[in-house]
Amino acid sequence: MRTLCLNELELSIVKKDLIKQRNNGIIDKEVISWAESIREADRIVIAAPFWDMSFPAALKNFFELCSIFDVTFKSDDKTCYGNCRAEKLLYITTRGMNISTGDELEQATPYLKALSWLWGIGPLEVISAQNMDYVSEEEIEIRIEEAIKNGLEAVRSF
């Protein structure tokens, strides 16, 4: 099992120079290591807060860096297909507003489903504690406990 904490990683931003390097087959060895960890994982768990209608940009940046041809995905003459072996993806989040998974205002889930398709990862399951910004401390604790309960139930079959 490998745990990656984005706050501890040196994440390059995908810009012109990085794209040029990638197009010439030059990819940072540490980034390849992250992508290989994703490719080889049996299960993937992502924990991130709801941020600007999705998740923090650092997480999207991490996904962009790890989306490496011949590592996390491949292609033929017609389409891309996944190269990862993970059977499931669990996304754990908190949301300050009362926006549910699947709501058109919640954009993390559609992105993670698309990424799961590209990388060949199995189904996505979401656990969220929502409307955390507009309730009492007591209600926050109740919602966190409920999310923990749901999480423990989810991992039984995860």
Give residues with Cβ within 8 angstroms of 100, minimum separation 6: 106, 128, 130
Give the number of other CB atoms < 10 A from CB of residue 101.
Answer: 16
Complete domains list, the chain, with CATH: 15-156 (3.40.50.360)
Q: From residue 143, how far is each of 100, 116, 154 by CA, in Å? A: 14, 28, 16
Q: Which residue stretches of the chain have pLDDT < 50? A: none
Note the pLDDT of residue 49.
Answer: 96
CA 78, CA 115: separation in Å to the nearest integer?
Answer: 18
Note the pLDDT of residue 1.
Answer: 86
Note the pLDDT of residue 149.
Answer: 96
Each residue's pLDDT tens digit, 9-30: 999 999 999 999 999 999 999 9
The beta strands (E) that lie in the chain are given as: 43-47, 73-75, 80-82, 88-94, 124-129
CA 103 to chain centre: 18
Note the pLDDT of residue 158.
Answer: 86
123, 158 Cβ separation under 8 angstroms: no
